[in-house]
Chain A
Amino acid sequence: MEQEQEQPIERMLRGHDFTEGLSDEHVARLASMASLQTFHADERVLKAGERADRCYLIQEGQIAIEIYHPTRGGVPIQTLGEGKVLGWSWFVKPYRWTFDAMTYTFTRVIVLDGVRLREAMEADPEFGYPLAVRFMEVCAERVSHSRLQMIDMFDPH
């Protein structure tokens, strides 16, 4: 039997830090819910309050997570680059983005369909659990980095 050729998107997914250690079968399954997208610099990727139905695996570029301030406008909190994951609100109710996100540079991402992914994770824990752990790690890392920013460790006073 002729071996099925790996799709480019599957290869790209396999090259992303997020999928490290995932089985071939699970990566192939993720690939079936994935698409590719590029953004120019200064493009909005997410807007707080809008429906969260996707997740981005950054391949190249720089995306800033921002919070909107009525007088200061978009205040950047953190930037994410190659190998990072943007967006987990598709995974938790009420499935609305809690922050804005803007590109700082030309950016290339793999987009995962959040609704299909959530349904697949719920229906098949063998597929869903390792992914849930990964998304939990992303959240934990983000919280830890935010705490360090909050303590203002370089302030001499």
Chain B
Amino acid sequence: MAVAYHEPMLPLPHRVRRMTWETDDTFTMELVAAGGGGGGITSFAPGQFNMLYVFGVGEAAISMSGSPSNPDTLLHTTRAVGSVTKALANLHPGQLIGIRGPYGVSWPVDEAEGRDIVIITGGIGLAPLRPLIYTLIEQRERFGNITILFGARTPDEILFRDEIEQWRRRFDMDVLITVDRASRDWRGRLGVVTTLIPQSPFDPKNSIAYVCGPEVMMYFTLEALEKRGMPRERVFVSMERNMKCGLGFCGHCQLGPKFVCKDGPVFRWTEVASLLDIREI
């Protein structure tokens, strides 16, 4: 019996086309539907994720990091830290994995129309925001100032370095980078990413903020945004919890009354502000 490909728990076979190491422990996989054209993921929105299945090892939820305008080639950027992501890191071009998705709530783009945009991120948190950045650049005329504030642990851990340089060279957006630690060889900013907020060129009264990074970073980012006068309801965050089914059935990613996989991972800050003390199940 033929099984419809949209069966939500059935992974679709995808082939690794390319592996690119972004930093010592972070890599980007380029994946295409195994059957050639069709039979794969046909569209996604910025901020959504897929469940990537390494056969015989397990599944991991990983956000798309490529352009939504080019869904035939799926990019996923992740860090090799757990058993599944370490197995993904060892894949070679031509090998097969399974994909379920896309899942989750995306970054709200229409809500940013006519407003300044500030994107605040750190470390691997830039990966789920890159599809949004591509979308904003493609539709640049719809928005006011665009500011990207990016923090990394060290200069060697700056993600998508070449692309960030390209964004920095654009005249229609501001990109500020800081690192937490560095030697004297680094002549850029040194300090946590929240230090960039007070003087960034956005009007808090008419701005929207997209934030993704470790929760402790997001917490202090919100504090700095509030101090700058940004209303909480115009701040969006991407939460990370241990996602298993991707459909809100299994409960692994429950965050109070929310399921991160289904109700998120992108939330309006006001929806989750009181839930941040709830530890992972």
Cross-chain contact A74 with B198 (CB below 8 angstroms): no
A156 CA to B151 CA in the complex, in Å?
15
Q: Enumerate 7 A-B pairs (CB-CB under 8 Å) in ascending A order.
A: A17-B199, A78-B191, A83-B199, A104-B187, A153-B192, A153-B216, A154-B122
Whether B157 is near chain A, meaning CB under 8 Å from some CB there, is yes
Q: Of A5-13, A30-38, A143-151, which binds chain B?
A: A143-151
Whether A77 is near chain B, meaning CB under 8 Å from some CB there, is yes
Compute the total of residue contacts between A and B using a CB distance below 8 Å. Answer: 71
Provide the B183-204 mask, 1 if CB < 8 A to any CB of A, else 0. Answer: 1101111111011001100000
- Cβ < 8 Å to B, chain A residues 101-120: 104-105
Cross-chain contact A151 with B216 (CB below 8 angstroms): yes
Question: Could you say which residues of chain A place their CB within 8 Å of the CB of B213?
Answer: 153-154
Question: Could you say which residues of chain B place their CB within 8 Å of the CB of A17?
Answer: 198-199
Whether A81 is near chain B, meaning CB under 8 Å from some CB there, is yes
* A153 with B214, Cβ < 8 A, contacts A74-B184, A76-B182 known: yes
Q: How far is the CB of A10 from chain B (nearest CB, A)?
A: 22
Whether B180 is near chain A, meaning CB under 8 Å from some CB there, is yes
A149 CA to B79 CA in the complex, in Å?
21
Whether A93 is near chain B, meaning CB under 8 Å from some CB there, is no
Residue of A nearest to B220 (CB): A148
Cross-chain contact B190 with A77 (CB below 8 angstroms): yes
Residue from A75, A79, A144, A155 having most chain B Cβ neighbours under 10 A: A79
A94 CA to B152 CA in the complex, in Å?
36
Cross-chain contact B190 with A76 (CB below 8 angstroms): yes
Whether B153 is near chain A, meaning CB under 8 Å from some CB there, is yes
Cross-chain contact B123 with A154 (CB below 8 angstroms): yes
Question: Could you say which residues of chain B place their CB within 8 Å of the CB of A64?
Answer: 184, 190
Whether B54 is near chain A, meaning CB under 8 Å from some CB there, is no
- Cβ < 8 Å to A, chain B residues 145-161: 151-153, 157
Provide the A49-88 mask, 1 if CB < 8 A to any CB of B, else 0. Answer: 0000000000000101000000001111111011100000
**The residue from B122, B123, B189 contacting A81, defined by CB atoms under 8 A apart:** B189
Cross-chain contact B190 with A154 (CB below 8 angstroms): no
* The 10 residue pairs across chains A and B that have the minimum distance between CB atoms: A154-B123, A154-B153, A79-B190, A148-B192, A78-B191, A153-B214, A156-B81, A153-B216, A149-B180, A79-B189
Contact residues on B (Cβ < 8 Å of other chain), bracket = 20 to 34
A149 CA to B194 CA in the complex, in Å?
11
Cross-chain contact A156 with B25 (CB below 8 angstroms): yes
Q: How far is the CB of B279 from chain A (nearest CB, A)?
A: 17
Question: Could you say which residues of chain B place their CB within 8 Å of the CB of A78?
Answer: 190-191, 195
Cross-chain contact A149 with B191 (CB below 8 angstroms): yes
Question: Could you say which residues of chain A place their CB within 8 Å of the CB of B124?
Answer: 156
A154 CA to B220 CA in the complex, in Å?
14
Whether A152 is near chain B, meaning CB under 8 Å from some CB there, is yes
Cross-chain contact B81 with A145 (CB below 8 angstroms): no
Cross-chain contact B79 with A156 (CB below 8 angstroms): yes
Cross-chain contact B81 with A154 (CB below 8 angstroms): no
Residue of A nearest to B216 (CB): A153
- Cβ < 8 Å to A, chain B residues 79-128: 79, 81, 122-124
Whether B205 is near chain A, meaning CB under 8 Å from some CB there, is no
Cross-chain contact A145 with B122 (CB below 8 angstroms): no
Question: Could you say which residues of chain B place their CB within 8 Å of the CB of A76?
Answer: 182-184, 186, 190
Residue from A76, A82, A105, A153 having most chain B Cβ neighbours under 10 A: A153
Additional pairs, 15, CB under 8 Å, beyond known A151-B216, A153-B123, A153-B180: A17-B199, A73-B184, A74-B184, A76-B184, A78-B190, A79-B178, A79-B188, A81-B189, A83-B199, A105-B187, A149-B191, A153-B192, A153-B213, A154-B151, A157-B81
Provide the B150-178 mask, 1 if CB < 8 A to any CB of A, else 0. Answer: 01110001000000000000000000001
A81 CA to B191 CA in the complex, in Å?
11
A17 CA to B198 CA in the complex, in Å?
10
Question: Could you say which residues of chain A place their CB within 8 Å of the CB of B151?
Answer: 154
Cross-chain contact B199 with A82 (CB below 8 angstroms): yes
Question: Could you say which residues of chain B place their CB within 8 Å of the CB of A81?
Answer: 189, 199
Cross-chain contact A153 with B81 (CB below 8 angstroms): no
Whether B217 is near chain A, meaning CB under 8 Å from some CB there, is yes
